[in-house]
């Protein structure tokens, strides 16, 4: 066999080996993506069951259940959509907030002031924070600052050592806001976020509206680690 033929066979063998390596990498990537999708699906179903159970437990009627569950399910779907579009970069906090306002047709309202640097959240964090923002927005529209033309809502956030600190402050509510003894939003913010994310939260019902503070890790991988 000539030297040229040997070199030709060697090049063909190298090309086949490179193709086999690329195929193996694609196979491993597909397995990783599938495992991640299965994990997210299980978590999503668990979240839906939890929302349905809590809403049903506190609903006064079928109509009441339908209204609240539909709203929460839609908020969860918006969060998941943002998470899926964001990929490995993480869900943008401002996009979560804007999508929530857009769903209520108040995005761009002069009553709302939003400020903060770019913050990317892991899937678990984005889902929990997104639901909390939904509850706060819904409450503000029904009873708080956004229920009055004179009301104002200021939301700001900043990064602190791998965490994000969110401040939600309402002023000009139509009537003094009273703290409810029960409610999904209050349960989520005061108990759910600390349990799920290790977050530090406070929820104050002031005479002019709600003031909420949430400090949580931005990355899912850091949840549960010591501060």
pLDDT in tens, 121-166: 999 999 999 999 999 999 999 889 999 899 999 999 999 999 999 9
Angle at CA of residue 44, ends 39 and 50, nearest 5°? 130
Cα–Cα distances in angstroms (integers) from residue 191 to residues 11, 65, 185, 194, 196, in the given order: 63, 22, 10, 6, 9
| Helix (H), strand (E), coil (C) string for 92-160 | EHHHHHHHHHHHCCCCCCCCEEEEECCCEECHHHHHHHHHHHHHHHHHHHHCCHHHCCCCEEEEEEEEE
210 forms bridges with which residues in the sheet?
A: 205
Domain boundaries, the chain: 1-48, 59-222
Q: How confident is the model at residue 86 (pLDDT cuts 50, 70, 90)?
A: confident
Residue 32, token pair as written in the block: 């990783």
- pTM of the entire predicted model: 0.79
Q: What integer pLDDT is reported at residue 60 of this predicted model?
A: 79
CATH architecture of 59-222: 2-Layer Sandwich (3.30)
Contact 75, 68 (CB under 8 A): no
* More reliable by pLDDT, 56 or 6: 56
Q: Could you report how far apart the first and last alpha carbons of the chain are, in Å? A: 68
Q: What angle do CA 131, 224, 198 make, to 5 degrees?
A: 40
pLDDT digits (tens, 9 = 90+) for 19-60: 778 777 776 776 665 666 566 667 767 777 777 877 788 777
């Amino acid at each position: 066999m000539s030297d040229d033929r040997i070199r030709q066979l060697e090049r063909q063998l190298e090309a086949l080996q490179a193709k086999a390596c690329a195929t193996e990498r694609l196979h491993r990537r597909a397995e990783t993506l599938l495992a991640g999708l299965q994990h997210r699906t299980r978590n999503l179903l668990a979240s839906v069951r939890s929302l349905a159970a809590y809403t049903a437990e506190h609903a006064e009627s079928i109509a009441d259940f339908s209204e609240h569950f539909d709203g929460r399910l839609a908020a969860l779907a918006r969060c998941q959509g943002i998470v899926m579009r964001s990929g490995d970069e993480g869900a943008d906090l401002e996009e979560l907030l804007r999508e929530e306002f857009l769903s209520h047709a108040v995005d761009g309202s002069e009553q709302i002031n939003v400020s903060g640097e770019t913050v990317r959240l892991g899937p678990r964090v984005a889902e929990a924070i997104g639901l909390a923002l939904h509850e706060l927005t819904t409450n503000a529209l029904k009873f708080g600052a956004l229920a009055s033309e004179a009301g104002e809502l200021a939301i700001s956030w900043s990064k602190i050592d791998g965490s994000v600190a969110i401040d939600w402050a309402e002023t000009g509510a139509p009537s003094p806001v009273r703290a409810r003894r029960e409610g999904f939003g209050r349960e989520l913010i005061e108990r759910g976020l600390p349990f799920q994310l290790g977050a530090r939260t406070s929820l104050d019902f002031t005479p002019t509206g709600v003031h909420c503070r949430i400090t949580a890790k931005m990355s899912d991988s850091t949840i549960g680690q010591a501060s």
